[in-house]
Structure 1
Amino acid sequence: MSPSTEKLDNCYCVQLRYLFLILCLILTSYFYIYIKRKQFKNITTKIPTVVGLPFIGIAYKLIPIKRFLYRISSYFEEFNTSTYCAWLGTYPVIVTIDPDIIKTVTSSPEFLNKAEVLYNPIDKAIPKGIITSEVHTWKHNRKLINTYFNNKLLMSLIPLFNRGANTSVKRLSKLSNGGEHKLFDLIKRGTLEIAIEATMGIDMSEGACENYELIDSFTVLMERIAKDAACSTLGLGFLARTPGYYKARRFLRNYMNKLIEEHTNNNNMPKVEEWQYDEDTMSSFLDIALNYCNNGKFKKEDVIMESISLIGASFETVATAIYSGLVMLSMHSDVQEKLFQEIHSIWPEKDIHVTYEHLKDVPYLDMVMSETLRLMPSIPIVGRQAIHQTKLTSELILPPKIQVIVPIFSLHRAETWWGPKAHLFNPENFLPETIAKRNPYVYMPFSKGARNCIGWRYAEIVVRILLIVLVRNFKFTTSFKYQDLHFVDHVSLWYDVEPNLSIELRKI
Structure 2
Amino acid sequence: MSPRTEKLDDCYCVQWRIFFLIVCSFLISYYHMYTKRKQFKNITSKIPTVMGLPFIGIAYKLVPIKRFMYKISSYFEEFNTSTYCAWLGTYPVIITIDPDIIKTVTSSTEFLNKAEILYTSIDNAIPKGIVTSEVKTWKHNRKLINGYFNHKLLMSLIPLFNRGANTGVQRLCELSNGGEHKLFDLIKRVTLEIAIEATMGIDMRKGASEYYELVDSFTVLMERMAQDAAFSTMGLGFLARTPSYYKSLRFMRNFMDKLIKERTNNNNTPKIEEWQYDEEKMSSFLDIALNYCDNGKFDKEDVIMESISLIGASFETVATAIYSGLVMLSMHPEVQEKLFQEIHSIWPEKDIYVTYDHLKDLPYLDMVIAETLRLMPSIPIVGRQTIHQTKLTSEIILPPKMQVIVPIFSLHRSKNWWGPEAHLFNPDNFLPENIVKRNPYVYMPFSKGARNCIGWRYAEIAVRVLLLVFVRNFKFSTSFKYEDLHFVDHISLWYDVEPNLRVELRNI
TM surpasses 0.5: yes
- Aligned residue for 1:473? 473
Give yes or no for contact 2:156–2:277 (8 Å, CA) kept in 1: no
- Aligned residue for 1:54? 54
Cα distance change on mapping 1:107 and 1:277 into 2, 3 Å: farther
After superposition, where does 1:46-195 map in structure 2 within 5 Å? 46-195=46-195
Cα distance change on mapping 1:196 and 1:20 into 2, 3 Å: closer
Cα distance change on mapping 1:453 and 1:277 into 2, 3 Å: farther
SS at match of 1:437: coil
Q: Which deviates more, 189-198 or 430-439? A: 189-198
- Aligned residue for 2:32? 32
C-alpha distance in structure 1 between counterparts of 2:9 and 2:166, whole Å: 83
After superposition, where does 1:128-277 map in structure 2 within 5 Å? 128-205=128-205, 207-271=207-271, 276=273
Q: Could you give the per-residue CA deviations for residues 307-361 of structure 1, whole angstroms, max 9, x where no partner exists? A: 1111111111101110110011011100000000000011100001111111111
The Cα shift of 1:212 comes to 3.4
- Aligned residue for 1:448? 448
Give yes or no for contact 1:188–1:215 (8 Å, CA) kept in 2: no
The Cα shift of 1:280 comes to 4.8
Cα distance change on mapping 1:11 and 1:248 into 2, 3 Å: closer
Normalized against structure 1, the TM-score is what? 0.96
Match of 1:278 among 271, 275, 292: 275
Q: Could you give the per-residue CA deviations for residues 186-212 of structure 1, whole angstroms, max 9, x where no partner exists? A: 111111111112111221125443343
The Cα shift of 1:266 comes to 3.5
C-alpha distance in structure 2 between counterparts of 1:280 and 1:352, whole Å: 23
Q: Could you give the per-residue CA deviations for residues 268-313 of structure 1, whole angstroms, max 9, x where no partner exists? A: 3135xxx757335981211111100011000011111111111111
C-alpha distance in structure 2 between counterparts of 1:206 and 1:472, whole Å: 27
SS at match of 1:205: helix
C-alpha distance in structure 1 between counterparts of 2:365 and 2:270, whole Å: 39
Give yes or no for contact 1:189–1:211 (8 Å, CA) kept in 2: no
Give yes or no for contact 1:188–1:316 (8 Å, CA) kept in 2: yes
- Aligned residue for 1:41? 41
SS at match of 1:175: coil
SS at match of 1:361: coil
Pairing 1:415–2:415 present: yes
Give yes or no for contact 1:96–1:407 (8 Å, CA) kept in 2: yes
| Unpaired stretches in structure 2, ≥5 consecutive residues | none
Give yes or no for contact 1:268–1:287 (8 Å, CA) kept in 2: no
C-alpha distance in structure 2 between counterparts of 1:406 and 1:277, whole Å: 42
- Aligned residue for 1:335? 335
C-alpha distance in structure 1 between counterparts of 2:431 and 2:371, whole Å: 10
C-alpha distance in structure 2 between counterparts of 1:280 and 1:463, whole Å: 22
C-alpha distance in structure 1 between counterparts of 2:268 and 2:502, whole Å: 43
| Unpaired stretches in structure 1, ≥5 consecutive residues | none
The Cα shift of 1:155 comes to 0.9
Q: Could you give the per-residue CA deviations for residues 448-473 of structure 1, whole angstroms, max 9, x where no partner exists? A: 00000001011001100111111001
After superposition, where does 1:428-439 map in structure 2 within 5 Å? 428-439=428-439
Give yes or no for contact 1:382–1:405 (8 Å, CA) kept in 2: yes
C-alpha distance in structure 1 between counterparts of 2:277 and 2:333, whole Å: 45
Give yes or no for contact 1:196–1:202 (8 Å, CA) kept in 2: yes
The Cα shift of 1:13 comes to 4.0
Q: Could you give the per-residue CA deviations for residues 52-84 of structure 1, whole angstroms, max 9, x where no partner exists? A: 111111111111111111111111111111111
The Cα shift of 1:115 comes to 0.4
C-alpha distance in structure 2 between counterparts of 1:5 and 1:16, whole Å: 16
C-alpha distance in structure 2 between counterparts of 1:14 and 1:310, whole Å: 55
The Cα shift of 1:215 comes to 2.7
SS at match of 2:85: strand
SS at match of 1:110: helix
Cα distance change on mapping 1:201 and 1:17 into 2, 3 Å: closer
How many residues are treated as equivalent by the alignment? Answer: 505
C-alpha distance in structure 2 between counterparts of 1:201 and 1:212, whole Å: 15
After superposition, where does 1:342-421 map in structure 2 within 5 Å? 342-421=342-421
Normalized against structure 2, the TM-score is what? 0.96
After superposition, where does 1:469-508 map in structure 2 within 5 Å? 469-508=469-508
C-alpha distance in structure 2 between counterparts of 1:437 and 1:410, whole Å: 20
The Cα shift of 1:227 comes to 1.0
After superposition, where does 1:283-298 map in structure 2 within 5 Å? 283-298=283-298
**Residue type of the alignment partner of 2:455:** G
Give yes or no for contact 1:228–1:237 (8 Å, CA) kept in 2: yes
SS at match of 2:258: helix
C-alpha distance in structure 2 between counterparts of 1:356 and 1:441, whole Å: 27
The Cα shift of 1:26 comes to 2.3
**Residue type of the alignment partner of 1:353:** Y
SS at match of 2:305: helix
C-alpha distance in structure 2 between counterparts of 1:216 and 1:68, whole Å: 26
SS at match of 2:446: coil
The Cα shift of 1:23 comes to 2.6
Q: Which deviates more, 199-208 or 423-432? A: 199-208
C-alpha distance in structure 2 between counterparts of 1:449 and 1:54, whole Å: 35
SS at match of 2:405: strand
The Cα shift of 1:2 comes to 6.4
**Residue type of the alignment partner of 2:488:** V
Give yes or no for contact 2:57–2:87 (8 Å, CA) kept in 1: yes
Q: Could you give the per-residue CA deviations for residues 1-26 of structure 1, whole angstroms, max 9, x where no partner exists? A: 66666665555544443333233222
C-alpha distance in structure 2 between counterparts of 1:266 and 1:182, whole Å: 42
SS at match of 1:388: coil
How many percent of aligned residue pairs carry the same amino acid?
A: 83
- What is the alpha-carbon root mean square deviation over aligned residues? 1.6
**Residue type of the alignment partner of 1:261:** K
Q: Could you give the per-residue CA deviations for residues 202-252 of structure 1, whole angstroms, max 9, x where no partner exists? A: 211254433432232112111111111111121111111000100111111
SS at match of 1:377: coil
Give yes or no for contact 1:189–1:212 (8 Å, CA) kept in 2: no
The Cα shift of 1:261 comes to 2.5
